[in-house]
Chains A and B, each alone.
Chain A
Amino acid sequence: MAAAESYPEELRYHAEHDWARVEGDEAVLGVTWYAQDALGELVHYEPPEAGASIAKDGIYGEVESVKAVSDLVSPLSGEVVEVNQKIVDAPETVNEDPYGEGWLVRIRMSDQSEAESLLDAGAYKALLAGQ
């Protein structure tokens, strides 16, 4: 079942429809409800390698639906400490629970101040309303 539209207040957002949940010096990344809805049911997740360095605004992987492929844009810089293997095996989990079970990677941030430049839920929703 597809999730209902939501943009949790505790997350930070990137304009390319990616989210970050900051937890100490680590962050969990994923794609927003809007992104998964635009793509449709996901059928493939091409994750980065654990240990890879990813850069803010850089591409760290891909997700694909039947119709389209979409780059994953990182909201923050850091090193990948964990890939959510569940999404590799069952990509549709992202559609069912984009902010929970549908997380994509966990990183160790290299510059915690970057989080301050991200959008809060209100600003991200305003951006969506303007599209």
Chain B
Amino acid sequence: MQTLNRTPLFEQHTALGARMVPFAGWEMPVQYEGVIPEHRAVRGDSGVFDVSHMGELEVEGPKAHAFLQSVLSNDLDRIEPGQAQYTLLTNERGGIVDDLIAYRLEVGRYLLIVNASNREADFEWLKERELSGSDVRDLSDDYALLAVQGPRSLERLGLDEAPAFTFAEGEVEGMECMVNRTGYTGERGVELMVPAEDGPALWDAVVGRGVTPAGLGARDTLRLEVCYPLHGNDIGPELDPISAGLGWVCALEKEFTGVSELRRVKEEGPDRKLAAFVMEEAGVPRQGMSIEGGGEVTSGTHSPMLDKGIGMGYVPTEQAEPGTDVTIDLRGRSRRARVVKKPIYKPQED
């Protein structure tokens, strides 16, 4: 039996009565009070997620920029130190090794925050391709990462507003942390990175400020309502970003791994597209269910905000147009759904 890793916040979770589950080799809280109340807390006020299982890779050196430009899909020339960018690590077939956020720390130094499930694969991928003059290091075990998300998150933490996809040194209850204006919920929010040993005190401070602890269950329903793809479900090494609707993070005018294949897909137009849908009839769509006409659900759940089944899935391009009615096989029952424009749920502006 494989032993599961524990984040620096394991004791915090068990003390709060969290239900712990295995996830990508980690023992993680799936919920505390319940997925639906935690989801609503994030949409209505604020919630805090332990995302310390995610990987932190640092790439440094005079060639760091050139190296990352050659392996990542987005254009790092668009960001300056203090800014971050959503981007993809692509393979030669134009498939997605991982999706990640690149933080430009200095001109020649980057931090990549990657999916927990891909941390080792990403590190090896980068190590195999690194240039002399670009050093890749895995710092994942050195840090705790807390995502504090929701319309009142910054106010709860006493942090000043800052533009999305920026970061700065900041302080929460006297604890210094890297404050990243990023997240996976569609809401205003930050991801706080601190040395692993400071994680428990920071968590306690955040919860002490009235932020609701939220687990992986709510993290998934929140991201799906705003149509953020999950690697391993909606995107993966055999799926290309053009079909996934991630063409906007692919700088096809620069050279990077798999770019010629992506140019071809873009030019010819994808055969199928990742569409978002809302159930018109009762039932909860789930990953792997077939969509009549050759499609398949890649993520599905019950939307707490819409109180309906929602999901995303690949469908033939002609079915991907918003307003199209599709039929999903829910364990032998044909149920109607309607393709909608992304996001499925739009966070409220305040």
A interface residues with partner B (beta carbon < 8 Å): 2, 40-41, 43-44, 46, 62, 64-67, 69, 88
Contact = CB atoms under 8 A, between A and B. Distances in A.
Interface stretch (B1-9, B28-36, B163-171, B243-251): B28-36
Interface string B29-46: 011001110000000000
A40 B284 CA distance: 15
B301 interface: yes
5 contacts: A41-B34, A43-B36, A65-B302, A66-B284, A67-B217
A57 to B, nearest CB: 19
Interface of B is mostly: mixed
Interface string B239-275: 0000000000000000000000000000000000000
A40 B283 contact: no
**Central interface residue in B30, B302, B304, by most chain A CB within 10 Å:** B302
B283 A46 contact: yes
B210 to A, nearest CB: 21
Given A41-B35, A44-B302, 20 more contacts: A40-B31, A41-B34, A41-B36, A43-B284, A43-B307, A44-B283, A46-B282, A46-B283, A46-B333, A62-B331, A64-B283, A64-B284, A64-B302, A66-B35, A66-B36, A66-B221, A66-B304, A67-B30, A69-B286, A88-B282
Interface residues of B, number: 18
Contacts of A44: 282-284, 302, 309
Nearest to A62: B331
A43 B286 CA distance: 14
A43 B307 CA distance: 8
Contacts of A41: 34-36
A44 B284 CA distance: 7
A25 B283 CA distance: 32
Contacts of B286: 69
Contacts of B34: 2, 40-41
Interface string B277-317: 00000111010000000000000011010010100000000
- Shortest 8 CB-CB contacts between residues of A and residues of B: A43-B302, A66-B35, A64-B284, A41-B36, A66-B302, A41-B34, A44-B284, A67-B217
Contacts of B333: 46
Interface in B6-61: 30-31, 34-36
B310 to A, nearest CB: 11
Contacts of B304: 66
**Central interface residue in A44, A46, A66, A69, by most chain B CB within 10 Å:** A66
Nearest to A64: B284
B314 to A, nearest CB: 22
